[in-house]
Amino acid sequence: METPKTYEPLKAEEKWYAHWMEKGYFHSVPDDREAYTIVIPPPNVTGVLHMGHMLNNTIQDVLIRRARMLGKNACWVPGTDHASIATEAKVVQKLRQEGIKKSDLTRDEFLKHAFEWKDKHGGIILEQLKKLGASCDWERTSFTMDPGYSESVLDVFVDLYKKGRIYRGVRMVNWDPEALTAVSDEEVLHKEVNSKLFYVRYKIAGSDDQWLTIATTRPETILGDSAICINPNDKRFTHLHGKQAIVPISNRIIPIIQDDYVDMEFGTGCLKVTPAHDTNDYDLGKKHNLETIDIFNDNGTLNEKGLHYDGLDRFEVRKQIEKELYDKGYLVKTEDHINKIGFSERTNAVIEPKLSLQWFVDMKELAQPALENVMNGNIKFHPDKFKNTYKHWMDNIKDWCISRQLWWGHQIPAWYFGSGSEDYVVAKTADEAMQLATVKAGRAISISELKQDEDVLDTWFSSWLWPISVFDGLTNPGNEEIKYYYPTNDLVTAPEIMFFWVARMIIAGYEYMGDLPFKNVYYTGIVRDKLGRKMSKSLGNSPDPIELIEKYGADGVRMGVLISSPAGNDLPFDSSQCEQGRNFTNKIWNAYRLVSAWDVREIEQPKSSIKAIEWFDAKFNQELAIINDLFDKFRISEALMAIYKLVWDDFCSWYLEMIKPGYEQPIDSKTIEATKDFFEQILKVIQPFTPFIAEEIWHLIRTRNDGDDIIIAEWPKVKAVNQAVLDSFTKGEEVIINIRNVRKQNNIANKVKMDLFIKKNNEIDSSFDSVIVKMGNLSLLEYSETAISNANSFIVNSNEYYIPFGDSIDIEAEKAKLKEELEYTKGFLNSVQKKLQNEKFMAGAPDQVVVMERKKESEALSKIAILEEKLTSMV
RNA sequence: GGGGGAUUAGCUCAGUUGGUUCAGAGCGCCUGCCUUACAAGCAGGAUGUCGGCGGUUCGAAUCCGUCAUUCCCCA
């Protein structure tokens, strides 16, 4: 059967993935080998694969596949995250479409719907990862709400509470009025928006017609004002000291206080203080013992404190109150103004600072080991520069608000038994809670009296345990698996979640395992489109990864996302990169086609093939050492580029051309065997990047026993590099390129054989002459004592090369070329000599550098002599 | 406003302690080729005041200062 001209990836991909699964190559159990472990950053359980996942998971798969070949017990743990806010929002939306309101359901009913949704849509993303070739240990698939996992989350909550690290308190939180939950600082996106600055005047209490004017962007919060604040140093307002003001519309009387917090330059210098609705005002209020007037309901409408605006949305009130203030003569003027407003990352609702009773983790001390061990390099960041960002955050770490007003997630194990603010206990189960409550209350408390906290924990409060809990390290401490797999090796993730997730995993690692969770963190960049925009669903600028795979093959797409994506740099993605990847797989495919088509006979091995084999052996080992080094430094895309060039340029363009027999000529068995060996080595090196085609050709190129699969083959070992052969080849290569140039410049077809004469002036390495003859398509290679006239010529290593070409040669053009080269060489010599004549250079530069300069000088001198002689002889 | 990056070819990026012809790679571009594995290919080629200015040095893409542009994080 004819081997197709182009590689057809889809069939091979399906076949080999199924084969690998069947053989259990992805599955890991502890044994006496060294463990190499990666835990996947768990995607949202209801998510679908996007380009960010593609990049992230391809890198992980490359690392895990290489580790497997290095003989390590490679274990890549997959799984998903319950993603409380996002998932709950989706379930609520789906129920709404069915005409069901969340508020009409009990918690249990809602959770039933949520789990149904999760079972239906959950794990789609994991199936998509299989298409990419991800070699995860699917038997270990974890979910942050698995029973065992949930148990560890509750254990940790109880434990931290007992240690005094978790407390309940009133704090100003970022309230999402749409999702009806608090969100963490990190989930708030600050954006600049055009808004208005309203100048509103307040009457001074007890005066007839004395006023002060404040500037605010949120006039609706006037109804919650508790004070006016001025800077005590502000000369303009000394007459206001000790006075009171009357709030417009509500006509409440509020004090005028002084605090140097007020910026005298901003607005009017008079600040209205609304402690319930602004973080800074809240702090001011606490400091000055001001009343806190909360005028909002949880959904962003005004409550009864909002007087006649009761029940209206905050933005509608802003419009209406502007008119009322104007009509009643309070509104002095409005100005256009640009300010930054916080939006919810999940719902895009404008965040409302809101006072509420929440659970917090006190982070200061917990964070210490996590900071130290990154700064001292026990945990390495790639690239290293992210340490700076990390340090800055950890130095200024704030307490972590971990309660969320949702149902989907881990319900907070706090149990209330009375109406007092301290009438609660923290316990994993109701039974334990009952006992604790009985002690705390000093009376018998029954289970029915207990009411569990309605809120759930922040999703990150479960995912920070990921590297521990996927091995049951908390519910079954010291078990065989946690001992074997923890600490894991490498984590691959996005810098955006350095604080949400990475820092907290490190904190949890030291707190609960007394050890780091992973040794290296590889930060990927953001995948952007051609215009530099972040790829997102809302912009619709993200290609569907599965469609890309169908078009270019998984191997092609894997290469496409990795080829220009250094760690920490954004990836400006364009599908042309996948095309490049696909072309690469096709290139390998055709190399295989070539090698497989040769007719093998017991004939003499050509000299040129012997040299070619010597050379490629040296070249391969030289490059392999470089590739290994790049891997060690996590320079994955550079490693890929090195491999790309090794395969395309060195193996295909040079090696295969050197050994390729003439048309319909047979090949000798020694050369074909060596070539197949090389091919195998190359397949091994590309296997982490393009596993499917590697496996496919591995099985085509030689007959394999059952279980002889490349995925578990041994990574090549670096052998000694024959540097002398590499050096000889470099000179031969230069000659070949010069010959090709002569052809090109004189329009001599490749088929036409040419003669080459060499005038030896200097040491000459003739070991690659046979290769030069073959690659240059020469009929003759001869050494000559004299220069050849009427010939194209070039100089390599001070030796003169001549290709006679009858009478059609253009003497003038040839002379011009020589003159140009002469000028360049003279200029070069001049700069070298200037250096050598500089006493300070001679005194300051190391010997090695001086020797190099001298060598350059002598080479340039002899080249000039040759060029001048040629020019004079060409008259 | 505070902190951290970045700026090298048309694009995306390498460039280790200042010193080999150090100004590089891939893509793109230009030229010529349907040469017998591959036109998803082959062979050649061009491209840069290393963001600006100043300084240190025998020598600076690399070190220092400063300005500019830009991205990220925090307030």
Q: Which CA-bearing residue is nearest the C1' of B37? A: A594
For A511-535, the DSSP string reads IIISS-SEEEEEEP--EE-TTSPBP
Protein chain A, residues 389-418, with a C-beta closer than 7 Å to any atom of nucleic acid strand B: 389, 392-393, 396, 398
DSSP for residue A134: -
- The residue assigned the tokens 């079954």 is A476
When the pLDDT of each residue in chain A is averaged and rounded to a whole number, the result is 88
What confidence tens digit (pLDDT) does each residue in A693-727 have? 999 999 999 999 999 999 999 999 999 999 899 98
Query: Strands A527-528 and A571-572: what pairing?
Result: parallel
Amino acid A579 CA to nucleotide B38 C1' distance, rounded Å: 15
Q: Which helix (H) or strand (E) holds A195?
A: strand A188-204
Out of A386-390, A425-429, A742-746, A819-823, give the one with best mean pLDDT.
A425-429
Q: Which CA-bearing residue is nearest the C1' of B18? A: A845
Which whole number is the average pLDDT over A408-432? 93
Which whole number is the average pLDDT over A573-601? 93
User: Which residues lie closer than 8 Å to A774 by C-beta, 6 or more apart?
Assistant: A606, A608, A658
A530 Cβ within 7 A of any nucleic strand B atom:
no
Amino acid A846 CA to nucleotide B17 C1' distance, rounded Å: 14
Protein chain A, residues 807-826, with a C-beta closer than 7 Å to any atom of nucleic acid strand B: 825
Amino acid A590 CA to nucleotide B33 C1' distance, rounded Å: 20
A753 Cβ within 7 A of any nucleic strand B atom:
no
- The residue assigned the tokens 């010997």 is A847
Q: Which of the four pLDDT bands, split at 50, 70 and 90, describes residue A377? A: confident
User: What interface predicted TM-score (ipTM) does this complex get?
Assistant: 0.93
Q: Which CA-bearing residue is nearest the C1' of B26? A: A641
A681: helix, strand or coil: helix
Q: Point out the nucleotide closest to A340 (alpha carbon to C1′).
A: B75
A767 Cβ within 7 A of any nucleic strand B atom:
no
A723 Cβ within 7 A of any nucleic strand B atom:
no
pLDDT of residue A461: 94
What confidence tens digit (pLDDT) does each residue in A517-543 have? 999 999 888 787 766 677 766 667 778
Q: Which of the four pLDDT bands, split at 50, 70 and 90, describes residue A14? A: very high
Amino acid A613 CA to nucleotide B43 C1' distance, rounded Å: 23
What confidence tens digit (pLDDT) does each residue in A766-814 have? 899 999 999 998 988 999 888 887 788 888 888 889 888 655 556 676 7
Q: Dig out the tokens for A437 from the structure.
A: 């409550």
Amino acid A749 CA to nucleotide B43 C1' distance, rounded Å: 11
User: Which residues lie closer than 8 Å to A610 by C-beta, 6 or more apart?
Assistant: none
pLDDT of residue A806: 58
What confidence tens digit (pLDDT) does each residue in A82-104 have? 988 888 888 988 998 999 988 89
Instruction: Using CB atoms within 10 Å of the CB of residue A121, give its burial: 0 to 12 exposed, 13 to 18 middle, 19+ buried.
Output: middle
pTM of the shown model: 0.88
Q: Given phi > 0 = left and psi -120 to 50 = alpha, else beta, which region is A721?
A: beta
User: Which residues lie closer than 8 Å to A116 by C-beta, 6 or more apart?
Assistant: none
Residue A172's nearest CA partner among A311, A292, A350 is A292
Q: Point out the nucleotide closest to A644 (alpha carbon to C1′).
A: B26
Protein chain A, residues 559-618, with a C-beta closer than 7 Å to any atom of nucleic acid strand B: 563-564, 566, 569-570, 572, 576, 579-580, 582-583, 585-587, 590-591, 593-594, 597
Amino acid A176 CA to nucleotide B12 C1' distance, rounded Å: 39
pLDDT of residue A854: 82
Residue A364's nearest CA partner among A401, A398, A388 is A398
- Upstream peptide bond of A691 is cis (omega within 30 degrees of 0): no
Q: Point out the nucleotide closest to A751 (alpha carbon to C1′).
A: B35
Amino acid A638 CA to nucleotide B73 C1' distance, rounded Å: 28
Q: Identify the bridge partners of residue A493 per DSSP, sorted by sequence position.
A: A523
Amino acid A348 CA to nucleotide B71 C1' distance, rounded Å: 23
Amino acid A745 CA to nucleotide B44 C1' distance, rounded Å: 9
A701 Cβ within 7 A of any nucleic strand B atom:
no
Instruction: Using CB atoms within 10 Å of the CB of residue A48, give its burial: 0 to 12 exposed, 13 to 18 middle, 19+ buried.
Output: middle
Structural contact between residues A384 and A127, judged by C-beta atoms closer than 8 angstroms: no
Rounded alpha-carbon distances, angstroms, from residue A761 to A433, A626, A728, A789, A839: 96, 36, 17, 17, 33
Q: Which nucleotides of B are covered by protein (CB under 7 A)?
A: 2-6, 11-14, 19-21, 25-28, 32-33, 35-45, 57-59, 72-75
3-state secondary structure A380-393: EEECCCHHHHHHHH
A528 Cβ within 7 A of any nucleic strand B atom:
no
Protein chain A, residues 829-848, with a C-beta closer than 7 Å to any atom of nucleic acid strand B: 835, 838, 840-841, 844-846
